[in-house]
Amino acid sequence: MAQDQRTRTGNRVDTQVVVVGAGPVGLMLAAELRLGGADVVVLEQLPAPTSESRASTLHARTMELFDSRGLLDALGPVPGEVRGHFGGIPLDLTLPGSHPGQWKVPQDRTEALLGAWAGGLGADVRRGHEVTALTVTEDHVDVEAVGPAGPLTVRALCVVGCDGEHSTVRRLAGLDFPGTDATRELIRADVAGIEVPDRRFERLDAGLAIAARRADGVTRIMVHEFGRAAVRRTAPPDFAELVTIWKRVTGEDVSGGTPLWINAFGDVSRQAARYRDGRVLLAGDAAHAQMPIGGQALNLGLQDAANLGWKLAVQVARKGSEGLLDSYHTERHAVGERVLSGIRAQALLLLSGPEVNPLRAVLGELLRSGDTRRHLAATISGLDIRYDVGPGDHPLLGRRLPPSALKTADGWPTSTAELLRGGRGLLLDLSGDDGRTAELAAVAAPWRDRVHSVAATVIDGGPLSDLDAVLVRPDGYVVWAGSDATSPEAALRRWLGLPHDEHPISGGLS
Ligand SMILES: Cc1cc2nc3c(=O)[nH]c(=O)nc-3n(C[C@H](O)[C@H](O)[C@H](O)COP(=O)(O)OP(=O)(O)OC[C@H]3O[C@@H](n4cnc5c(N)ncnc54)[C@H](O)[C@@H]3O)c2cc1C
């Protein structure tokens, strides 16, 4: 663990990175920064984690990421389901990989997991601190918050706004957030004491109704009335409004139930024009606001954090190559744009009236054909991501390292996920040739603080067989796929930064 560089001067704390928001994205980012050796303070306005029922789905790529950080044991058993949907049309999410499908984990459980992980790694999470002002200078940022003990200033090399859809950091930094506000909405509630049939995206004549009864007898219901515009709200809808709309759409009376929790969400679609502006960065809902459908909002944000953490850690250590930090915007903005477009398409299919039924019927047929199904399943699961990582035409370049069982050169069973657990890059030598192994180890030696070099063989074939070697970033994406004649040195420099014996770059945040 890097030495803690925080110092206290009156009501000022100095650190390397200040993260605003201890939601799932801020906590994941804080942990990733700590893994990379960066010092981090997280400021969160809420005095305690919220137990509000929000996202409940982790998709395949997020589960793989959690596995590659050793988090799944702590998460415990989670129910999995390969049956997903696209705009309410059933979609089989089965794809090759270690965690195909969707996994049902309430968001408060995910946040508890990430909070414990970040805290255990030494992230300084300060609850009850509301950020109110931001000053960006040539060589640092000052983030001002009001906390239980009064005003506090956190000085850092940069600030990351993980403070949700209505991000204060985004507003204070004046970052553009183009897109459209919600035009339609769903009202959702957990209700005790009602008896209604379970409904999975049921489109009735007057609207869309969803109902799922849980084992504890509470039923989650969601409803949209076709043609009804989104309401500009400053508070959650009241139960009477839900009762009226549910009755108009389904004909059922739920007025005798007890609402435990109720909210409304709409088909807003906005994305920050830049995820990075100098020393100010955005991640998660602060960078993109979307209709929370199919769990994609949360998964998109968690993967922003996994992409940004190690890059920022290298950069604040003044080791990052030119353009490394900007690749966060390039890579994640493009992924976000695509996911948001898919969510808008789903919103049209779900919330439009009967006029959209022929389109749904055609799409339903297409989704039964293999290629279309796999295409959409890969998009929703996050398994289709391919970053532009530079020259080369190997099919694995820019893609996630496919999860594979391995045996190390000295005979120990391991896996690709296990080899990534330290949060370092991975130079995986599969050549089975002692000469090549020595050559690769020598090339990687100057990066040994940031790259784990392992010689192994693949068990049970799969996409890694026949490979000589691969270099994988800490977030699991392949940036070099070797053949006998090539060296990973250029890729090491570009993605993992300067070797440990070269002088750091001045300025720290190019
Ligand atoms: C009511 C609701 C229902 C949802 N349902 C679903 C769903 O069913 N499926 C799905 O995928 N997604 C859903 N989402 C979206 C999902 O919860 C988000 O995508 C996810 O929480 C994003 O995580 P985040 O960390 O980016 O932001 P958030 O979880 O919003 O966390 C932001 C944090 O920043 C803090 N903060 C804000 N301003 C400040 C400030 N000035 N100073 C300090 N701290 C600040 C907040 O208190 C909060 O803890 C829902 C969201 C909401 C609000």
DSSP calls for 137-202: -SS-EEEEEEETTEEEEEEESEEEE---TT-HHHHHTT----EE--SBEEEEEEEES-----EEEE
Q: What share of the chain is helix, strand, coil (3-state, %, to 5)?
A: 30, 25, 40
Residues 295 and 103: beta-carbon distance below 8 Å: no
> What is the per-residue burial (b if ≥16 Cβ within 10 Å, else e) of 192-201?
eebebeebee
Each residue's pLDDT tens digit, 46-98: 999 987 768 889 999 999 999 999 999 999 889 998 999 999 999 999 999 99
| Four-point Cα dihedral 313, 318, 319, 321, nearest 10 | 100
Structure tokens at 321: 């190559």
Average pLDDT of the chain is 93
User: With 0-12 CB in 10 A as exposed, 13-18 as middle and 19+ as buried, what is 121?
Assistant: middle
- Residue whose Cα lies nearest atom 37 of ligand 1: it is 163
- Residue whose Cα lies nearest atom 29 of ligand 1: it is 23
Query: How far apart (Å, rounded) are the C-alpha atoms in residues 438 and 455?
Result: 10
What's domain 13-56+107-179+270-350's superfamily in CATH? FAD/NAD(P)-binding domain (3.50.50.60)
Each residue's pLDDT tens digit, 354-363: 999 999 999 9
Each residue's pLDDT tens digit, 395-406: 999 999 999 999
Query: Could you tell me which residues come within 8 angstroms of residue 395 by beta carbon, excluding any fewer than 6 positions away?
Result: none
pLDDT of residue 502: 80
- Residue whose Cα lies nearest atom 49 of ligand 1: it is 23
Amino acid, single-letter form, for residue 142: D
Structure tokens at 446: 């100057």
Where is 347: in which H helix or E strand? helix 326-351
**344 Ramachandran zone, left/alpha/beta (phi>0; psi -120 to 50):** alpha
Query: How far apart (Å, rounded) are the C-alpha atoms in residues 219 and 214?
Result: 6
Each residue's pLDDT tens digit, 365-394: 999 888 999 999 999 999 999 999 988 889
Cα 155 to averaged position of ligand 1 atoms, centre (Å): 25
Does residue 7 surpass a pLDDT of 80? no
CA-to-CA separations, 503 to 3, 388, 499, in angstroms, rounded: 19, 28, 9
Query: How far apart (Å, rounded) are the C-alpha atoms in residues 364 and 352?
Result: 16
DSSP calls for 353-407: -GGGHHHHHHHHHHTTSHHHHHHHHHHHHT-------SS---TTTTSBPPP-EEE
Does residue 8 surpass a pLDDT of 60? no
Residues 229-253, mean pLDDT to the nearest whole number? 94
Cα 83 to averaged position of ligand 1 atoms, centre (Å): 26
CATH topology classification for 405-496: Glutaredoxin (3.40.30)
Query: How far apart (Å, rounded) are the C-alpha atoms in residues 40 and 159?
Result: 10
HEC assignment per residue over 119-143: HHCCCEEECCCEEEEEEECCCCEEE
Using 50, 70 and 90 to split pLDDT, how confident is the model at 320? confident
Q: Three-class SS of residue 276? A: strand
Sketch the domain layout of the chain as residue ranges.
13-56+107-179+270-350, 64-105+352-384, 185-266, 405-496
CB distance 162 to ligand 1 below 6 Å? yes
**217 Ramachandran zone, left/alpha/beta (phi>0; psi -120 to 50):** left
Q: Which residue out of 201, 298, 332 has the highest number of ligand 1 atoms within 8 Å of its CB and is therefore the one to mutate?
A: 298
pLDDT of residue 466: 84
The angle at the Cα of 407, spanning 405 to 412, to the nearest 5 degrees, equals 120
Does residue 102 surpass a pLDDT of 60? yes
Residues 455 and 427: beta-carbon distance below 8 Å: no
Residues 169 and 287: beta-carbon distance below 8 Å: no
Cα 75 to averaged position of ligand 1 atoms, centre (Å): 20
CB distance 168 to ligand 1 below 6 Å? yes
DSSP calls for 73-99: HHH----EE-EEEETTEEEE---SSSS
- Measuring CA to CA, which residue among 450, 446, 403 is closest to residue 423? 450
> What is the per-residue burial (b if ≥16 Cβ within 10 Å, else e) of 463-478?
ebeebbbbbbbbbbbb
Cross-strand bridge partners of residue 271: 288
Query: What CATH code would you report for 185-266?
Result: 3.30.70.2450
User: For residue 255, how many other CB atoms are within 10 A of its CB?
Assistant: 13
Query: How far apart (Å, rounded) are the C-alpha atoms in residues 220 and 211?
Result: 6
Does residue 151 surpass a pLDDT of 60? yes
Structure tokens at 376: 């959409």
Cα 289 to averaged position of ligand 1 atoms, centre (Å): 10
Q: Which residue out of 56, 85, 127, 163 has the highest number of ligand 1 atoms within 8 Å of its CB and is therefore the one to mutate?
A: 163
CB distance 339 to ligand 1 below 6 Å? no
